[in-house]
Amino acid sequence: MEFQPTREFAKELDSRDELAKFREEFYLQPDTIYMDGNSLGLCSKRAESSLLELLASWKRYGIDGWTEGKYPWYYLSEQLGAKMAHLIGAKPEEVVATGSTTVNLHQLVSTFYRPEGKRTKIVADELTFPSDIYALKSHLRTRGFDPDTHLIRVKSRDGRTLNESDIIDAMTDEVALVLLPTVLYRSGQLLDIELLTKEAHAREILIGFDACHSIGAIPHQFSQWGVDFGFWCTYKYLNSGPGGVAGLYVNEKHFGLAPGLAGWFGSDKDKQFDMSHDMEHAQTAGAYQIGTPHLLSVAPLIGSLEIFDEAGIERIRKKSLALTRYMMQLIKSELSGYGFYIGNPTEDHRRTGHICLEHEEAPRICKALKEKLVIPDFRAPNVIRLAPIALYTSYEEVWDMIHRLKVIMEEQTYKKFKNEREVVA
């Protein structure tokens, strides 16, 4: 269909949306347009149901809930890992639901960062999420290396995106490990994961990816591409709730390697309760668990992943691209002359699930949007992130959101707010 900047056109797109039925699965607030699902996904009825089911098993079975009930707890982390595996393009045994994003990063770096000879440096980038940098610096210090000289942060040419050739140039014979985001959290740029993995391995360098801003929004092929390891949160596109348990991937070629941070839940499940002081770790990604699963944070993921099984990641990606393309068309049509700049890549193969809308008054504008019952996300210094989510955002909501923003700019109502972020941006 040829683009038209009308509400009727948006309604026609909604009438053709094969994922529209999944909107009913989520708790949507009246008259509110939620555009922050790339930061915290909305609660689904199935996530609520599986949480209540796990609470019920605790009430009914007590400690026997480890092996009884609808979702026995003892094997749940491995089972949910297997259910997530198709979203990351991995084999079931290569994925486990465990920990938090940064804890999993610490686990993986402690395992795969093995400085030897002159290979002592780590490659990251200057646009990645700060927690990843904090973790990498801490590991370098622990090993006795100065982060100022041993953490290489690839520069951005434009302050928004990375050039893969610059990353590859940084893969010298002094590098032991590369850690990159699949998607840049501000601009939404999708990196060429396959190319970067191939080039790292050609130089005998291990490479891992932070997939927080891509899992649940785009398909991956981590196993096929040979990615060494990966990790992600589940509370963004996967809608597992605040503090929801994270995910971890380890390529099967590394099975048998002892985890850098050992804990009893990484044991071979048949041996775990032998209580031996000599650990026999699992021969799967399950080896990289540390402590007892946070089961009430695991539980919502059960219901959420059911929805992804039914919707299919390929259909989700198709609609996500269509929604963001439509939003960019509306921005160009309706917001021209108001000082906005689209900071994300526009090509389908280079962007993920959100629009990076830049404006010098971004903090003020975000506050004005919230007053208009639009929930955006601000990222310093000047980014308004807008994420239309394939499972619960309609085209008409996108149209309505852009027109609410247009009124804000026409009437300059954003000027009554301070141009600074809140404590939580």
**DSSP per-residue letters across 116-167:** BTTB-EEEEETTS-HHHHHHHHHHHHHTT--HHHHEEEEPPSSSS---HHHH
Give the residues across from 95 on adjacent strands: 249
- CATH number for 49-310: choose from 1.25.10.10, 1.10.579.10, 3.40.640.10, 3.40.50.720: 3.40.640.10
Band of pLDDT at residue 420, cut at 50, 70 and 90 = confident
Q: CA-CA distances (angstroms) from residue 205 to 87, 110, 129, 247, 422?
A: 25, 15, 22, 23, 41
C-alpha to C-alpha distance for 237 and 37, rounded to whole angstroms = 6
Cα within 13 Å of Cα(370), Cβ side: 14
Domain ranges (residues) in the chain? 7-30+312-416, 49-310
How many angstroms separate the Cα of 33 from the Cα of each of 265, 332, 368, 402, 414? 41, 20, 13, 11, 18
Q: Is 131 annotated as a binding residue?
A: yes
- Residue 166 dihedral angles phi and psi, to the nearest 5°: -70, -35
C-alpha–C-alpha distance, residues 346 and 350, integer Å? 7
* β-pairing verdict for 151-154 and 206-210: unpaired
Q: Is 210 annotated as a binding residue?
A: yes
Instruction: Kindly report the number of other CB atoms within 10 A of residue 198's CB atom.
Output: 14
Taking only the tens place, the pLDDT of each residue in 101-151 is 999 999 999 999 999 999 999 999 999 999 999 999 999 999 999 999 999
- Average pLDDT in the 355-374 region? 98
319-361 pLDDT, tens per residue?
999 999 999 999 999 999 999 999 999 999 999 999 999 999 9
Torsion of CA 128, 132, 138, 139, to 10 degrees: -100
CA 373/CA 52 separation, integer angstroms: 30
Which residue(s) pair with 379 in the sheet? 383
Burial class (CB in 10 A: 0-12, 13-18, 19+), 94: buried
185 marked as binding residue: no
The string of pLDDT tens digits covering residues 137-192 is 999 999 999 999 999 999 999 999 999 999 999 999 999 999 999 999 999 999 99
Q: Does residue 419 carry a pLDDT above 90?
A: no
Tell me whether residue 102 is annotated as binding. Answer: yes
Return the pLDDT at 239.
98
Cβ atoms 169, 140 nearer than 8 A: no
Which residues does residue 230 pair with via DSSP β-bridges, in sequence order? Answer: 209, 249
**Domain 7-30+312-416 is in which class?**
alpha beta
Question: Would you mind telling me the total number of residues written for the chain in this entry?
Answer: 425
In this model, does residue 18 exceed pLDDT 90? yes
Task: Please indicate if the annotation marks 359 as binding a ligand.
Answer: no
197 is in an annotated binding site: no
For residue 381, whether the previous peptide bond is cis, meaning omega lies within 30 degrees of 0, is yes
Q: Which of 129, 118, 187 has the alpha carbon at shortest distance from 153?
A: 129
pLDDT at 425 over 80: no
> Given pLDDT bands bounded at 50, 70 and 90, which one contains residue 423?
confident
Residue 182 among known ligand-binding residues: no
Confirm whether residue 235 is marked as ligand binding: yes
pLDDT tens sequence across 240-283: 999 999 999 999 999 999 999 999 999 999 999 999 999 999 99
Per the annotation, does 348 bind a ligand?
no
Cα-trace Rg, the chain: 22
Contact assessment for residue 85 and residue 92, using Cβ atoms and an 8 Å cutoff: yes
Percent of the chain with pLDDT over 70: 100
pLDDT averaged over the chain? Answer: 97
